Copies of this chain bind each other. A is one copy, B any other.
Amino acid sequence: MAAEPVAILDPEDERIAPFRAIREKDLVGRRGLFIAEGTVVLRVLSQAHGKGRFVADRILVLENRLAGVADVLAGFPDDIPVYVCGSAVMNAIAGFDMHRGVLALGRVSESPSPAGMIATLPDNALVAVAVGLSNHDNAGGIFRNATAFGADAVLLDETSCDPLYRKALRVSVGSVLKMPWSRRGSGAEILTALDAAGFQVVTLSPAGEDALHTLRPDRRTALVLGTEGEGLPLDILKAFRPVRIPQSPGLDSLNVATAAGIALYQLALSTGRIG
């Protein structure tokens, strides 16, 4: 059962100070902390709390939203403080009009290494790998799609953006808190480790000779996604023969999160993971 809500009347109240980080565009100084926003993500956080890498630290709800989220709050243990405020305080904290009015501060433990992550994977495994992914919407979309098609993990290289960033977490509909993932090491390190662990490494390129649906995936398959715009570095494309998602000629390629969705759908289908 949740804690009794405590009213906050002053935007400078120290108990809600960490929520001011929501104004920061970058994550400097927020290492190990994240902001969960909205009812959907808060519900997932209540389910993830204390079971893996994530814990809820405190919750802040707009007073007129309190009744609406009562069942979600009930999912948290009563040692997690719940603060309630009016819209003036909420807007002063968030620095913009905070319609959703449901925020939680969470803490995350250190990312496992790629090797550590891979060691936890089953014999039949499908993973998504992101190298140099820079857009938070796309990071969230990749997690949502990986979850939809039953992937076992997402491995991001150290240059990819943080999937716990507020917007990414929201776009993922909270799946960043459910799906096992790591964000460490270089793309080359991750792919070498996957290769050594018996993974078929699948890269995508419009110039790929074979179409994705003609591929016969191995029991362990890793789909590699590159930077928006640039795609994957040439050395990675050279080392692992790319396949293509067939599409109309002469067009801009698909958005990377959409490409991930289509490729994971096809790989999940080809391996009998879905059907």
Q: What is A's interface to B at a CB cutoff of 8 Å?
A: 40, 141, 144-145, 147-150, 173, 211, 213, 245-248, 251-255, 257-258, 261-262, 265-266, 268-269, 274-275
Given contact pairs A145-B258, A261-B261, A40 touches B248 in the complex (Cβ within 8 A): no
Given contact pairs A141-B255, A252-B40, A246 touches B269 in the complex (Cβ within 8 A): yes
A150 close to B247 (CB less than 8 A)? yes
- What is the CA–CA distance of A147 and B255 in the complex, to the nearest angstrom? 12
- What is the CA–CA distance of A144 and B258 in the complex, to the nearest angstrom? 10
- What is the CA–CA distance of A255 and B265 in the complex, to the nearest angstrom? 14
- What is the CA–CA distance of A255 and B262 in the complex, to the nearest angstrom? 12
- What is the CA–CA distance of A198 and B173 in the complex, to the nearest angstrom? 38
Residues of B within 8 A of A261 (CB): 254, 258, 261-262
A-B contact pairs, 16 of them (CB 8 A): A144-B252, A144-B258, A145-B254, A148-B251, A149-B247, A211-B275, A213-B269, A245-B265, A246-B274, A246-B275, A247-B265, A247-B268, A248-B274, A254-B261, A261-B261, A262-B262
B246 close to A147 (CB less than 8 A)? no
A141 close to B251 (CB less than 8 A)? no
- What is the CA–CA distance of A132 and B247 in the complex, to the nearest angstrom? 27
Residues of B within 8 A of A269 (CB): 213, 246
